């Protein structure tokens, strides 16, 4: 399944997102606070508007779930040019580009292969790659973004001299087992914190002590010994991350002058905010309890909607909630 109810990575920057065209409306009478004062009351009421903005998780509530290449260790050792080629993708990819790539396929109905090839050509990632050889199969999960990334990996590997192909394998249980075996596929685009905990369970049994955190390098250090146990090697994590994130309308952010969750807490610390998200949000540590404990945010009420889906985005746009859970690389959040 594509739906996430998990702990995820922080955004490096507030990402401007558009879910449609139109004029932003306004409710409440407060002026922008620049994050420097407590606006509270009507000034912190929901503000309708088509354009959404993700607020930076500046205190790392979420785990680091950055895109990272996963490779069967035997394949990486036999093909020294493989990981450098995949790391070139990690270095070039951004969350904003993930949004645009997803939108090109899901909204503009372009083919995955064409979108992947265009990104590779425009990014210049194939320049100066080490020359490799041999047959490599890149597996992807059964959702758009993973399939795009798998095709980008394959495109770059072909440019580096490999006979590379991309294929959709299925969910993580299926493709991770296939990757460990290394016969059907040898490479997969993964997500740092999620794969770390998946391997933690595979190595240490059900319900092990979590080892992923909001720190990319600490999570990578926790991942590496787990990967070694099952014969996998990981490349460099990208800045790009597909993660749970919290959004407001651009009009709301501009009115209060907030770009981070800390600034939101400073401006609206009186409990006047309305939070929207999935049913689990009031009890999950990454969601309402995390916002309260990490940032000191207080909420007037909670609206049960969906996990980063159309209900939450519509409620934000229509001024029904102040803050909503979204997915940071959702195609619907691309600028229109």
SS3 readout for 297-314: CCEEEEEECCCECHHHHH
- pLDDT (tens digit per residue) in 107-136: 999 999 999 999 999 999 999 999 999 999
**What domains does the chain contain, in order, with CATH numbers?**
16-62+243-333 (3.40.190.120), 67-234 (3.10.105.10)
Q: What is the pLDDT of residues 136-194, one digit of tens each?
A: 999 999 999 999 999 999 999 999 999 999 999 999 999 999 999 999 999 999 999 99
pLDDT, tens digit, for every residue of 24-68? Answer: 232 333 334 344 455 555 778 999 998 888 899 999 898 999 999
pLDDT at 272: 87
Q: Is-above-0.85 flag for pTM?
A: no
Calculate mean pLDDT across residues 83-103: 96
3 touches 318 (CB < 8 A) = no
For the chain, give the longest Cα–Cα distance.
64
Please say if the pLDDT value at position 4 is more than 80.
Answer: no
Q: Which two three-digit tokens encode residue 271?
A: 């409990």
Each residue's pLDDT tens digit, 247-275: 999 999 999 999 999 999 999 977 889 99
Instruction: Match 């912190």 to its residue by tokens.
Output: 44
């Amino acid at each position: 399944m594509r739906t996430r109810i998990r702990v995820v990575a922080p955004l490096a920057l507030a990402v401007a997102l558009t879910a449609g065209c139109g004029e932003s409306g306004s409710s409440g009478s407060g002026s922008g606070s620049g994050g420097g004062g407590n606006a509270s009351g009507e000034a912190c009421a929901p503000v309708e508007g088509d354009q959404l903005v993700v607020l930076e998780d500046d205190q790392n509530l979420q785990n680091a779930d950055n895109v990272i290449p996963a490779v069967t260790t035997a394949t990486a050792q036999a093909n020294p040019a493989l990981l450098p080629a995949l790391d070139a993708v990690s270095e070039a990819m951004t969350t904003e580009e993930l949004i645009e790539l997803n939108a090109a396929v899901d909204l503009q109905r372009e083919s995955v292969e064409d979108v992947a090839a265009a990104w590779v050509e425009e990014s210049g990632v194939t320049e100066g790659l080490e020359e490799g050889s041999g047959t490599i199969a890149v597996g992807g999960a059964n959702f758009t973004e993973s399939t795009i990334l798998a095709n980008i990996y394959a495109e770059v590997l072909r440019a580096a001299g490999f006979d590379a192909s991309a294929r959709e394998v299925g969910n993580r249980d299926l493709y991770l087992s296939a990757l460990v075996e290394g016969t059907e596929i040898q490479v997969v685009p993964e997500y740092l914190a999620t794969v770390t905990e998946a391997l933690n369970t595979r190595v240490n049994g059900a319900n092990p002590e979590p080892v992923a955190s909001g720190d990319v390098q600490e999570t990578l250090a926790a991942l590496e010994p787990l990967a070694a146990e099952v014969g996998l090697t990981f490349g460099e994590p990208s800045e790009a991350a597909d993660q749970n994130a919290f959004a407001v309308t651009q009009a709301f952010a501009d009115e209060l002058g907030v770009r981070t969750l800390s600034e939101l807490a400073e401006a609206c610390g009186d409990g006047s905010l309305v939070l929207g998200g999935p049913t689990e949000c009031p009890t999950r540590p990454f969601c309402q309890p995390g916002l309260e404990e990490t940032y000191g945010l207080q909420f007037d009420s909670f609206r049960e909607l969906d996990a980063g889906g159309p209900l939450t985005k519509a409620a934000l746009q229509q001024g029904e909630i102040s803050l909503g859970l979204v997915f940071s690389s959702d195609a619907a959040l691309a600028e229109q």
